[in-house]
Structure 1
Amino acid sequence: MEFLNDYLMIIIWAVVLVGTILIEFETSDLVTIWFSVGAIGALIAAASNVNFFGQIAIFIVVSLVLLALTRPLTKRFMDKEVIKTNADRTVGMHGVVVTEIPFDGKGEVKVDSQIWRAFTTQKDPIPVGTRVVILDIVGNKLLVDVLKEDL
């Protein structure tokens, strides 16, 4: 039975290792890399017949030490400055609805001679011809609201 428990812990730590690596590949923000190294330490401990609580302690200590030592450094390198584009200048501008904007859907707005996909958070649809103000850019769509002067 002891033999089975040893292999079970090796399998569990291998699954934790693979899981944290997969999460790391998906996020690419150095979120779980420390836990991957901690899982390697616990996997080695399990293969060396260290008891369950020793394996857990190794996992936690290795992960937290690496996290404490490297997170500030990696955070500095991973912080990306948001690059402004000329599309940001449309925020605050006024436009005219050219395709009705329903509450839960998207329509179109003409702003500065360009047609943009647009959406709103207000409950009522915004009909064609209504003047709107651009509140924000979300992805490649404009968040708009009816211009207060037109109400």
Structure 2
Amino acid sequence: MSPNEVLMIIIWSVVLVGTIVVELETSDLVTIWFTIGAVAALVAAALGVWIVYQFAIFIVVSLVLLFATRPLSKRFMDKEVIRTNADRMIGMHGIVTTEIPFDGKGEVKVNSQVWTAFSTSKTPIIQGTRVVILDIVGNKLLVDVLKEEI
């Protein structure tokens, strides 16, 4: 194998891993088509196909899959949001009953109910701190410290 062939295998591997990471970090199908295109180009590179054809394979496979499956995937991914009475809690205040670490979950008491909560803050929120509910994600509250508490 020539150095150029090895380099292209490395490049397509990096593209493949990068698109997989992006796909895992998002809730929509965003890069799955490019992931499959990268696999096709990686196979082509491993077989020694000329670099220009590798890029052509990547682009063609990705675009064909994108245009062929995106409308179908959007239809299945766009689910109607069913509102519940829990939505009324957004904007309400609560008290931290179990410390919320900066990278984990704790508990917050709101209207005599205890909820699992997390924060996007880079610092932990200690027990007894008053918080405001920013959003409900699944069955967990996204909270932030009340500005008067800072």
- With normalisation by structure 2, the TM-score equals 0.58
Question: 1:90–1:42: structure 2 CA closer, same or farther, 3 Å change rule?
Answer: closer
Deviations 1:68-106 (A, max 9, x none): 010111111111211111245689xxx9x9xxxxxxxxx
1:44 matched to which residue of 2?
Answer: 43
Paired position in structure 1 for 2:98: none
Deviations 1:36-57 (A, max 9, x none): 1100111111112222211111
- In the other structure, the counterpart of 2:63 is 64
Larger radius of gyration: 1
**Could you say if the C-alpha distance between residues 88 and 19 of structure 1 is closer, same or farther in structure 2, counting changes exceeding 3 Å?**
closer
What's the TM-score once normalised by structure 1's chain length? 0.58
Q: Which amino acid aligns with 2:51?
A: F
Size of the aligned set, in residue pairs, is: 110
Identity level (%): 63
| Structure 2: 5+ residue stretches without partners | 94-110, 113-129, 144-150
> Residues 46 and 89 from structure 1, CA distance in 2 versus in 1: closer, same or farther, beyond 3 angstroms?
closer
CA root-mean-square deviation:
3.3
Task: Tell me the residue number matched to 1:30.
Answer: 29
